[in-house]
Chains A and B, each alone.
Chain A
Amino acid sequence: MAASSSATTPLLRVRAVQKSFGSTHVLRGIDLEVARGEVVSIIGPSGSGKTTLLRCVNFLEPYDQGSIAIDGVEVGYRGDETRKRRSERDLARMRAETGMVFQLFNLFPHLTALQNITLGLTKVRGLGRAEAKDKAMHWLGRVGLTDKADRLPSELSGGQQQRVGIARAVAMEPKILLLDEITSALDPELIGEVLDVVLSLAAEGMTMLTVTHEIGFARDASQRIVFMAEGTISAEGPPAEIFSANQSNERLRSFLARFSAAHRL
């Protein structure tokens, strides 16, 4: 698993990825690159394959064809001709290089906020207890939850839980952070506190691939927008271009029109 981390290779490289659930063809040949330090947001109607693509990147979802490489290393299958699925141990090691934040937070309900973060630090990164705790407290501080360290997830608001979710992911120092509709399950007044954390991480150069319904956030935080429809990338470009009034892509235009109509209500 030699990594070729020259500045020219993209950090994430997705090539011709195909994926079906039974007879439903969810991803129909996806090509996508994300450079080091870049923030890319995927938008698109539900059912277009956005979340599936994101879940393929850390192999939560195995893909049928194509290749996904992080820092030059094939993710789910061995890079050689055999294309054999990686062993459980290799997969775990690969996944530790990507952080993921989930729509429904998925915090471990039996562990405190602090323990949610230290679990990976001690078991995967091999840090000692004290070191893991220091690091976890540092990240809890970054998301403004130092005083909630010993609380169980059920004692936290949705916005607080999601901030712990972000701290849990970034504390592992992943090469890339995957954000899967992380504000979709939040009350509107709690969305801001979560997005602020993400914006500050972006400002520090964290590489991120996000799936989002927050068009405003996508525009402000991302260098590039990817518009997916029916399992393909239908349009791709900088926010100014994608959201421009004279956008020529018919599907994108009608998606944005329906979207802004729904949000003006």
Chain B
Amino acid sequence: MLDQIAYAIPFLLPGLLVTIEVSLITVAVSTVIGIVLGVGLVYGPAALRWPIRGFSDIIRGIPILVLLFFVYYGLPLTGLNLQSFAAAVLGLTIFKVAQVIEYVRGAIETVPRGQMDAAKAIGLPFHERFFYVIAPQAVRRFLPPWLNGVTDAVKGSALISLLGVGDLLFGIQKVVARTYDPLALYCFGALLYFVMNYALSIASRALERRFSYIRE
């Protein structure tokens, strides 16, 4: 079994890198866009809030695989023909943006109303109230679901092998097709996913501790 795995490793490494790359891009882009849209959802005018609300509700109501197929197979019919890698990243990112929007909304809304009142009362304009008073407190509530979402992104990225993207799962399947030993290979693949996510959850606990000093 061990030599099976040793044989497989060179084939899996590129896939592992693709999985990490896709996860990183997805998380980074969706976090930035999701925070902007999430803040818009909470504080924006109705003309901004409603489209964001609609986007988030619709996307979160669609299975991620359907979304990926839609981007890869559906969008070309509208003239937007994406390579499988780009389609995969776009699909996962759209999905993730909708989630981050909700994390942001939830985090901001749990900051007591009196905080905004107190910040107004000392004469801070909106952007300073947000940056110096609301955001530092919202971060603590944003982190746990967001960090969970990062591991979800790593796991969810396995779906992109269905678009033919050469990720970790794709690599495993290629080796299995050659060696006919699915048990050893899938066990090893599962272990690789687990190691990545376990490292992430250790890092996330450290990050949460960093912000745990904020108490009401």
Q: Which residues of A contact B (CB under 8 A)?
A: 55, 58, 60, 88-89, 91-100, 102, 104, 106-110, 119-120, 123-124, 152, 154, 168-169, 172
Contact = CB atoms under 8 A, between A and B. Distances in A.
Given A108-B133, A110-B137, A154-B215, A123 B124 contact: yes
Contact of A89 (B114, B117, B125): B125
B117 A60 contact: yes
Given A60-B117, A104-B114, A154-B216, A110 B136 contact: yes
Contacts of B216: 109, 154
A102 B118 contact: yes
Contacts, number: 78
A168 B122 contact: yes
Interface of B: 112, 114-115, 117-126, 128, 132-133, 136-137, 213-216
A60 B121 contact: yes
A109 B121 contact: no
A218 to B, nearest CB: 22
Nearest to B127: A88
Contacts of A107: 118
Contact of A92 (B112, B114, B125): B125
A93 B128 CA distance: 13
A96 B122 contact: yes
A92 B115 CA distance: 15
A119 B131 CA distance: 12
A119 B132 contact: yes
A108 B115 contact: yes
Given A60-B120, A119-B132, A106 B125 contact: no
Contacts of B137: 108-110
Given A88-B126, A92-B125, A106 B117 contact: yes
Given A97-B123, A106-B115, A110-B136, 9 more contacts: A88-B125, A88-B126, A92-B124, A92-B126, A96-B123, A100-B121, A102-B118, A119-B132, A120-B124
Contacts of B114: 102, 104, 106
21 contacts: A58-B121, A91-B120, A92-B125, A93-B123, A95-B120, A96-B122, A99-B121, A99-B122, A102-B117, A102-B118, A104-B112, A108-B118, A108-B133, A109-B137, A109-B215, A110-B137, A120-B124, A123-B128, A124-B123, A154-B215, A169-B122
Given A104-B114, A106-B115, A95 B213 contact: no
A96 B128 CA distance: 14
B130 to A, nearest CB: 12
B117 A123 contact: no
A155 B85 CA distance: 52
B43 to A, nearest CB: 11
Given A104-B114, A106-B115, A123-B132, A98 B121 contact: yes
B117 A119 contact: no
Nearest to A104: B114
